[in-house]
Amino acid sequence: MALEIDRSLHIIHCDLDAFYAAVEQNDDPTLRGKPVIVGGSAESRGVVSTCSYEARSFGVRSAMPITRARRLCPQGVYLPVRMQRYLEVSQQVFAILSDYTPLMEPLSIDEAILDVSGTQNLFGTPEEIGREIKSRVRSELGLTISVGISYNMFLAKLASELDKPDGMFIIPYDQAMQILRPLPVTRLWGVGDKARQTLERMGLKTIGDIQDLPPGWLAERLGTSGQLYWDLAHGNDKRQVDTNEERKSLGREITFPEDVSDMPMLQNTLAAFSAELCRKLRRDKLYCSTITLKLRYNTFKTITRSQTIAPTHADLVIAQVADDLLQKNYQGNPSLRLIGLSLGKLSAAPDVQQGDLFGEAGKYAEVDMLMDQICQRFGSRVIQRGNQLHKPGQVNRQST
């Protein structure tokens, strides 16, 4: 017997607005109202990671070369990426979201999906939950977040995209087909530029064009992708929120808003992951013996590379191994869509003592313990190791 699909409003998609730029403006109030471009200096060869809505009014967009952004917006404030800070704020946002349901799936550093089907008696309707989330993110963190509500993941994500920034949009079951119909096919999950070209060659430019096709027609021509597009065009998405709660390992990953190839930024990200994960290991009195690096290219090819070491929970040991894995397995091309770090073979006590391969382990333990105490009392932002700072050659904040 086929599983009946829940058509009630119970899925909420939360997406922070212009996240990196918003954090910069929030941390430095003098930047509010100014066109902020995050990604590097105005003279760099990098690309725009995120830009404020003020910058977008000049035509600046994510993934645009910084050189072009400067031509469009020479008066912009050009800032380097501060991944450690963005990760910290992301954790604070996710902590707020997790107050409303244990069924939360982070999709990237600045967005997550919630299933509130089991918590509405506690917190109210999905609309009431959405409004409370927006209010708390603004009052507690000074940021705006857009919220989409529907009966499945695809439509909830689409809903948040249709009312940005700082919006809230609801797509109920009886209105889904009508709302979808005039939208371009690129609004469907999985339809990038190549898929768009393929669909347009078939005369399919809008989601309504796909809705008008007979069942099976697109699947016969495009296989499973065609069936997926047809299902989504009809408002059908059977995926469930994945909480990924298995604790045989401990991991952290980030899907970048735009593809990244900048090595210092990737190294800083891994160093930040190492510090965060090691604090959790030490808090739970655990050690790890396996370190795994995960890379997903902009082609969606994904690789993982692992290394086994003596059990440890020292930041510097794990960060060094992660950095070695990165340099051995990534040469800057193609760009990365996602990077992740996971620590496996967790144990309550090390089978052997960490040796001196990476230095004097005893000193690591003393420094780690002191840093943990400081972070626990004052927050993780007040102290960090030098490997989490910007590498030589990275620029400080500047305005042109």
Last residue of a domain, one of 137, 153, 174: 174
* Residue range 80-105, pLDDT digits in tens: 888 889 988 998 999 999 999 999 99
Q: How much is the pLDDT for 397?
A: 34
Q: For the domain that residue 104 is a member of, what is the CATH number?
A: 3.30.70.270
Q: Which two tokens stand for residue 387?
A: 């490997």
Asked if 341 and 292 touch (Cβ cutoff 8 Å), the reply is yes
What average pLDDT score do residues 180-204 get? 94
Structural domains of the chain, count: 3
CATH number at residue 310: 3.30.1490.100
Looking at the fold, whether 331 and 372 belong to one and the same domain comes out as yes
Confidence category of residue 36, pLDDT binned at 50, 70, 90: very high
Has 105 been annotated as catalytic? no
Same domain, yes or no, for 141 and 227? Answer: no
Determine the 3-state secondary structure of 393 from DSSP.
coil
Domain membership of residue 315 (yes or no) is yes
Backbone angles phi, psi at 255, to 5 degrees: -95, 115
Cα-Cα-Cα-Cα dihedral sign, residues 347, 352, 357, 361 = positive
The answer to whether 149 touches 130, Cβ cutoff 8 Å, is yes
Q: Is 79 helix (H, G, I), strand (E, B) or coil?
A: strand
What is the structure's pLDDT at 350? 56
126 assigned to some structural domain: yes
Query: pLDDT tens for residues 289-339?
Result: 899 999 999 888 899 999 998 888 888 899 999 999 999 999 888 899 899
| One domain, residues 145 and 292 | no
The SS3 of residue 142 is: coil
Q: Which of 111, 128, 161, 258 is catalytic?
A: 111
Domain range for 25 is 7-174
Residues 169 and 222 in one domain: no
Of 350, 152, 169, 162, the C-alpha closest to 234 is: 152
Whether the pLDDT of residue 167 is over 80: the answer is yes
What pLDDT score was predicted for residue 279? 86
Residue for token digits 């396996």? 290
Residues 223 and 258 in one domain: no
**For the domain that residue 217 is a member of, what is the CATH number?**
1.10.150.20
Please name which of 284, 264, 280 lies closest in space to residue 315, comparing C-alpha atoms.
280
Q: Are residues 55 and 19 located together in one domain of the fold?
A: yes
Would the pLDDT of 385 be above 60?
Answer: no
At 204, the pLDDT band (50, 70, 90 cuts) reads very high
Kindly tell me if the per-residue pLDDT of 381 is higher than 70. no
Distance, CA of 47 to CA of 60 (rounded, Å): 11
In a domain, 399, yes or no: no
Cα-to-chain-centroid distance, residue 112: 8
Residue 337 domain flag: yes
Q: What angle do CA 288, 291, 296 make, to 5 degrees?
A: 145
Please say which residue of 133, 150, 174 terminates a domain.
174
When mean pLDDT is compared across 32-36, 41-45, 177-181, the lowest value belongs to 41-45
| Both tokens assigned to 280 | 């959790």
Whether residues 209 and 332 fall in one domain? no
The torsion of the CA quartet 61, 62, 64, 67, rounded to 10 degrees, works out to 80
Distance (Å, rounded) from C-alpha 159 to C-alpha 142? 23
Check whether residue 156 and residue 37 sit in a common domain: yes
Would you say 329 and 305 are in contact if contact means Cβ atoms under 8 Å apart? yes
Which percentage of the chain shows pLDDT scores above 90?
58
The pLDDT-based confidence of 45 (bands split at 50, 70, 90) is low
Regarding whether 255 and 223 lie in a shared domain, the answer is no
Alpha-carbon distance of 284 to 307, in angstroms, equals: 22
Asked if the structure places residue 1 within a domain, the reply is no
Report if residue 390 sits inside a domain: no
Q: What are phi and psi of 226, to 5 degrees?
A: -60, -40
CA 265, CA 388: separation in Å to the nearest integer?
Answer: 10
- How far is residue 247's CA from residue 164's CA, in Å, rounded to a whole number? 36
Q: What is the pTM of this model?
A: 0.71
Alpha helices (runs of H) in the chain, residue ranges in sequence order: 19-27, 53-56, 66-72, 83-97, 120-123, 126-141, 153-161, 176-180, 193-201, 207-211, 217-222, 224-233, 263-283, 315-329, 361-378
What is the distance between the alpha carbons of residues 38 and 239, in angstroms, rounded to a whole number?
33
Indicate whether 265 and 315 sit together in one domain.
yes
- What pLDDT does 242 receive? 78
Alpha-carbon gap, residue 142 to 17, rounded angstroms: 12
Q: Are residues 260 and 218 in the same domain?
A: no
Confidence class of residue 49 from pLDDT cuts 50, 70 and 90? confident
Query: Is 228 domain-assigned?
Result: yes
Instruction: Kindly indicate the confidence band of residue 43, based on its pLDDT and cuts at 50, 70 and 90.
Output: low
Q: What is the DSSP string of 30-48?
A: GGTTS-EEESS-TTSS-B-
Token pair of 25, please?
């403006």
Residue 40 lies in a domain: yes
Angle of CA points 371, 315, 339, to nearest 5°: 125
Residue 233 phi, psi dihedral angles, 5° rounding:
-60, -25
What is the average per-residue pLDDT within 176-202? 94
100 and 226 assigned to the same domain: no
- What tokens does 228 get? 């997926």
